[in-house]
Copies of this chain bind each other. A is one copy, B any other.
């Protein structure tokens, strides 16, 4: 039943940072989030991915930044490609070549930009024309946060309630004119520490943390408050919610048994630095994902001095200054 190969398609997508965090699933098999989330897509961290289906290939292959991907990554990709093949009615194997425009060892290699770029490139290469909602749902099957990277700017992820996940997709939050916020990323250490939200950690938290349920219950009011802050273009309000959401997520994770502590000493030093700068008048609020790195929401006025201050924190290896970026796009 294989149609001929449709040729190679190349797509680009960008990482995103959640301001209202995603932490916990309501369905593990379908990768359905237990609560919504809200993010900004960044222009400084992109993944470019080319997909080619070819009936002559014996197996799927995945090249990551010039190297064959490790077996677990390939197995995960193949299982996900099966979703695309089933939908397109093809059974050809695929050759996937993916590259990040940031150092692979930076610890920021999020699966979000990877699966967003894949969703767009693979479906087009398979002859499908999915709308953004369908792309977001498909990206979600690869990585929960990838659903958000289909879109640019400010993005809302809907938890949904349908058992099949058909209402668990991301959509853009209209902000007109654009609100040119910036995100400063302090990469802790050599950056080899994993950043990707660990499925195992989320499950351990859901199964053992006495604070997990309360964390989930805290998300809807944060989402509403964050959307209101965006509508009002109130950076201080949005920043306070972002810090609160991140600390609540880490609080719930820490209370897992055994405790999941993502902070490293420089993580705390960055928190102290951001708070001290804020006291001195900077517009800067931190957020932290499932890793030691610290991301600081700021604006053009404060971005440069925030970046300089974080760069001076012992244990910070490098600092990335990013604006908001676009959604996933076909580039070839």
SS of A interface (majority):
helix
A258 engages B271 (CB within 8 Å) = no
Q: Is A228 an interface residue (CB 8 A)?
A: no
A240 engages B265 (CB within 8 Å) = no
Residues from chain B with a CB closer than 8 A to the CB of A209 are: 248
B259 engages A268 (CB within 8 Å) = no
In the complex, how many residues of chain A place their beta carbon closer than 8 angstroms to a beta carbon of chain B? 33
Q: Is A269 an interface residue (CB 8 A)?
A: yes
Closest to A219 in B: B210
A264 engages B255 (CB within 8 Å) = no
Known: A211-B218, A214-B211. A254 touches B263 (CB 8 A): no
Residues from chain B with a CB closer than 8 A to the CB of A254 are: 247-248, 250-251, 254
Q: Is A28 an interface residue (CB 8 A)?
A: no
Q: Is A87 an interface residue (CB 8 A)?
A: no
CB distance from A100 to the nearest CB of B (A): 28
**A211: contacting residue among B240, B248, B268, CB under 8 A:** B248
Interface residues of A in 289-314 (CB under 8 A from B): none
CB distance from A210 to the nearest CB of B (A): 4
Q: Is A243 an interface residue (CB 8 A)?
A: yes
CB distance from A264 to the nearest CB of B (A): 6
CB distance from A185 to the nearest CB of B (A): 19
Q: Mark A258-294, 1 if CB is under 8 A from B, else 0.
A: 1101011111110110000000000000000000000
Q: Is A233 an interface residue (CB 8 A)?
A: no
Interface residues of A (CB under 8 A from B): 209-211, 213-215, 217-218, 240, 243-244, 247-248, 250-255, 257-259, 261, 263-269, 271-272, 315
Given A211-B214, A250-B251, A261-B271: 20 more A-B contacts, CB < 8 Å: A210-B214, A210-B215, A210-B217, A210-B218, A211-B218, A211-B251, A213-B214, A218-B255, A243-B258, A244-B255, A244-B257, A247-B255, A247-B259, A251-B253, A251-B254, A251-B255, A252-B255, A254-B254, A265-B266, A265-B315
